[in-house]
A and B are shown apart, each in its own frame.
Chain A
C-alpha cells in the first residue's frame, strides 16, 4: 500500500504543491557545466525525488525556469522542508553550479493543448 499511496501522491497531490518563480539571470548565478550537472543530478540522487528531467515527483518540480540560484543554493544547503541537506562536503559549490546549469538547460515543454491526450 505504501507504493500505491506514493503513486497517488505523485499524480494527485504534488502538482498542487509546486510553484515556480521564473529565474532571472543575475550576476549571482555562477557559470556551470550543464552536461556534468545532468550527470551529477543522477549520480547524487537528485532524480530520486525530482525526476530525471527535474519535472518533480516526490519532490517539487525544479525546471524549466528554476528559481534564482541564490534561493536554490540556500535551500539545497539548508532545506526548510523535507529535503535532506546537501552540504558542501557532499556537493561542492562547483557541482551545484553545474546542477543549476543543467536545470537552466531544460526546455519548456509543449503546451498541454498541443498534446492530444492532455487536451481532452
Chain B
C-alpha cells in the first residue's frame, strides 16, 4: 500500500462529521433554550421541529463508519517491532493515543512493552540507562510540544553521552483536523526543531511507507558510531487513519552499518609510537561498550604493559592506574573516545583570573581514537576544548583495537618485551600500594556521623561482593572488584542533574533479564527532580538497590557559592542559602514507601548501615526496588 489514504477510510471526514454532530447537540438554538426553560418549570419538554423530524424520519442508509480494524498505528507498531525495541517509555499523551493503543492491544504489550513513566524527562533517562547497558535503543513516546519540552534535557544528555534513544513524537500536522484547544497546544509545525541541535537525525513522515523507511533509517543512524538520539514525528492523522490491508504495506529490512575502524596506515603509526614509548598511558574514556571490547583493551594494555587510566578496565588489574603522575611522566598519551581530552592533559585553575597549564611533558605525543571526529554539531558546546594531538584516528575504538593489537604485537622485539615486563612489574607494585593506600584512606572518619562516603562504599561492597552485581549509578568504589564490562555504566553525558534516579531504573531494567543485582548510589538533590521514577520501578517490578548519598544539599553548588563568597570576601557563612536541602530535611524513605517500594532511613549511625543494606538487599532479591537513605558527609 503506497498511500494509505487511497485505500483507507479518511479520518478527517469522520472527524468533520462528528464535529458537526456534536455542534448540533450542544448549540444553543432558540428551540433548545425553550426546552430548557420549560424543563426548569417542571413541565414536559415539547420536542422542537428539528428534534421531532430527527426522531421520526427514516434512518439514512448512508451509515457513518465509526470503527476500524487496523489504524495506521498498527503498521507503525509492526515497523517498531521489526527494530527489536523491547520497551517504549512514555507518559501518556493524546497525540500518540493510537500508537499507545496499538502497543497494548494489537501488539499484546510485548516487544515493545509500554513503561509507564511519570515525566517525559524520566522516560528519556530510563531509555538512556537501558541503552548504556543493553547497547541498543529503547523507544520513547512524547507529545511534540509539552512532552518534548520536558524530555529535552534528557535528550541533550543522551546526545552528549553518545547514547542511542529512539524518540517518537505525537503531533497533528493538519490544522483543519485538530480538536479545538489542547490539540493545538500539543501540535507544532516543525516539532523536532526544538531538539535538532542535539539529536543525530529527525523526520516528519507524511505516509506510512515514509514512516517505515524513516523509522528504520533513524534506528540505523542512532546505532551508527557515534551513537545518539533520533526523533521521528508520528502524525496523529497517520496514526489514526484506518488501513484497509496491512499486508500491502512493506516493513523495510534493517541492516546496521558496521562501525568505522581506524585507517590502517594511521593504526600502524600508532602501533609504532606505542611500542617505542617508554611511558605510554592509555586513557580509557568512553570507548568500551561490550565485554569483547574490554577483553581487547586488556589485551592491548598487557601486550605493551601500558597503564590504563579511567574507562572500563578491571579495577584490580595491575595496569589499572590513576593519579596525576601518569600524565606528567608520559611520553605518549592515547585517548580512547575521551570526551574531554584537553581537560585531561591540562589544568584550568578556577580562580579570579582563570589560568591553565599543560600537565604533560613538552615533547609528549598525544593520539586520539574517537568517533567524535566523525560527527559534530555547532551550537551546544559538548565537544569540549580543541586538543592539539599528533595523530587523530577518526574511528570506533572497539572496531579499531583488533588491528592496533595486531600491529603492535608485530613490532614487539625481545628487547622491548623485556622493557615492557619491567614496566609491568613497576605498575603492579604501584597498584598494590594504591590499593593499600585506599584502605588506609577509608579509615579516616570511619565512625563519623554523617557517614563517610568511604564507609558507605565499603558497607555496600560487603553486601554485593558475592553477587553477580552491576552498578547502575554512582560508579564503583575504589575498593570494589570490578571485573566485568557490565559492572559499571557506560559514562558520558551533559552533567544533567536529575538523571541519576531514572537512568539507574532504566539500566536496572536492562540488567533484569540477566538476573544481575543492581545497585546505585543516588544523590539527594538529583533524586528530587523526578522521584516518580521510583513508582515506575515499583510498577514494573524492576529490582534495584538505591542507596541515598544524602548530604542534604546541592553540594557542588554549595562549593561554587562558597568560592564566590571567598573571592569577594563577604558572607562566607551564607553559601547554604539556595543550595541546601534542609529545614525541613526530606524523608526519602517515606517518599519511597509511598510509591510502593521497601525503604529504610534516614541512617545516621554508621553501625546501622550494614544491617539496613542487607535487609534492603533481601527485598531486591525478591524482585523489588529498595532504597536506603544514608545521611552522609558532603563528599
A8–B523 Cα distance when bound, in Å, is 12
Q: Which residue of B lies closest to A114 (CB)?
A: B443
A48–B494 Cα distance when bound, in Å, is 24
Are A10's CB and B635's CB within 8 A? yes
Q: How many residues of A contact B (CB 8 A)?
A: 49
A84 and B562 in contact, given A7-B474, A56-B441, A90-B570 (Cβ under 8 angstroms): yes
A109–B575 Cα distance when bound, in Å, is 30
Q: Which residue of B lies closest to A59 (CB)?
A: B635
Give the residue of A1, A48, A85, A90 whose beta carbon is less than 8 angstroms from that of B499.
A1
Q: Is B437 an interface residue (CB 8 A)?
A: yes
Residues of A within 8 A of B570 (CB): 90
Residues of B within 8 A of A25 (CB): none
Q: Is B483 an interface residue (CB 8 A)?
A: no
Q: Is B302 an interface residue (CB 8 A)?
A: no
Residues of A within 8 A of B494 (CB): 1
Interface string of B443-455 (1 = CB under 8 A from A): 1111010101110
Are A55's CB and B559's CB within 8 A? no
Give the residue of B349, B442, B634 whose beta carbon is less than 8 angstroms from that of A118.
B442
A92–B44 Cα distance when bound, in Å, is 91
A86–B562 Cα distance when bound, in Å, is 10
CB distance from A20 to the nearest CB of B (A): 10
Are A1's CB and B496's CB within 8 A? yes
Residues of B within 8 A of A56 (CB): 441, 444
A61–B439 Cα distance when bound, in Å, is 14
Q: Is A4 an interface residue (CB 8 A)?
A: yes
A70–B454 Cα distance when bound, in Å, is 30
Q: Is B584 an interface residue (CB 8 A)?
A: no
A90 and B452 in contact, given A43-B573, A51-B634, A117-B462 (Cβ under 8 angstroms): no
Within 8 A of B (CB), among A66-113: 81-82, 84-87, 89-91, 109-112
A52 and B450 in contact, given A2-B556, A15-B478, A110-B443 (Cβ under 8 angstroms): yes
A115 and B446 in contact, given A7-B549, A11-B454, A84-B567 (Cβ under 8 angstroms): yes
Q: Is B464 an interface residue (CB 8 A)?
A: no
Interface string of B417-448 (1 = CB under 8 A from A): 00000000000000000101111111111101
Are A15's CB and B437's CB within 8 A? yes
A118 and B479 in contact, given A17-B324, A90-B572 (Cβ under 8 angstroms): yes
Are B453's CB and A3's CB within 8 A? no
Are B556's CB and A1's CB within 8 A? no
A4 and B500 in contact, given A51-B633, A52-B445 (Cβ under 8 angstroms): yes
Are A112's CB and B559's CB within 8 A? no
Interface centre among B350, B351, B436, B461 (most CB of A within 10 A): B351
Q: Is A22 an interface residue (CB 8 A)?
A: no
A84 and B633 in contact, given A11-B457, A45-B558, A115-B446 (Cβ under 8 angstroms): no
Within 8 A of B (CB), among A31-79: 43-45, 47-49, 51-53, 55-58, 61, 64
Q: Is B157 an interface residue (CB 8 A)?
A: yes
Q: Is B477 an interface residue (CB 8 A)?
A: yes
Residues of A within 8 A of B500 (CB): 1, 3-4
Within 8 A of A (CB), among B618-635: 633-635
A59–B213 Cα distance when bound, in Å, is 53
Q: Is B459 an interface residue (CB 8 A)?
A: yes
Residues of A within 8 A of B459 (CB): 117
A6–B553 Cα distance when bound, in Å, is 14
Q: Which residue of B lies closest to A16 (CB)?
A: B323
- Interface band, chain B: 35 or more
A112 and B475 in contact, given A1-B157, A3-B526, A55-B452 (Cβ under 8 angstroms): no
A49–B459 Cα distance when bound, in Å, is 23
Residues of A within 8 A of B446 (CB): 109-110, 115
A15–B437 Cα distance when bound, in Å, is 7
Q: Is B256 an interface residue (CB 8 A)?
A: no
Residues of A within 8 A of B85 (CB): none
Are A85's CB and B567's CB within 8 A? yes
Are B453's CB and A10's CB within 8 A? yes
A8–B562 Cα distance when bound, in Å, is 22
Are A51's CB and B562's CB within 8 A? no
Q: Is A12 an interface residue (CB 8 A)?
A: yes
Residues of A within 8 A of B572 (CB): 44-45, 86, 90-91
Q: Is B92 an interface residue (CB 8 A)?
A: no
Give the residue of B349, B549, B633 whose beta carbon is less than 8 angstroms from that of A81.
B349
Are B634's CB and A47's CB within 8 A? yes
A112 and B439 in contact, given A3-B526, A11-B453, A11-B454 (Cβ under 8 angstroms): yes
Q: Which residue of A lies closest to B473 (CB)?
A: A4
A93–B499 Cα distance when bound, in Å, is 43
Residues of B within 8 A of A14 (CB): 441
Q: Which residue of A lies closest to B450 (CB)?
A: A52
A1–B507 Cα distance when bound, in Å, is 14
Residues of B within 8 A of A64 (CB): 444
Q: Which residue of B lies closest to A63 (CB)?
A: B444
A16–B161 Cα distance when bound, in Å, is 27
Q: Which residue of A lies closest to B558 (CB)?
A: A48
Q: Is A13 an interface residue (CB 8 A)?
A: yes
A118–B479 Cα distance when bound, in Å, is 8
Residues of B within 8 A of A2 (CB): 495, 497, 556
A7 and B475 in contact, given A84-B562, A84-B567 (Cβ under 8 angstroms): yes
A6–B523 Cα distance when bound, in Å, is 10
Are A12's CB and B475's CB within 8 A? yes
B residues apposed to A, CB below 8 Å? 157, 161, 322-324, 349-351, 434, 436-446, 448, 450, 452-454, 457-459, 461-462, 473-475, 477-479, 491-497, 499-500, 521, 523, 525-526, 549, 555-556, 558-559, 562-563, 565-567, 569-570, 572-573, 575, 633-635
Closest 3 CB pairs of A and B: A57-B635, A84-B566, A55-B444
Known: A8-B475, A11-B478, A51-B445. 11 other contacts (CB 8 A): A2-B556, A7-B453, A7-B549, A7-B635, A51-B448, A53-B633, A57-B635, A58-B559, A89-B569, A91-B572, A119-B439
A-B contact pairs, 15 of them (CB 8 A): A1-B499, A3-B523, A4-B473, A7-B474, A10-B453, A47-B633, A51-B452, A82-B349, A84-B562, A85-B566, A86-B566, A87-B566, A112-B439, A115-B442, A117-B462
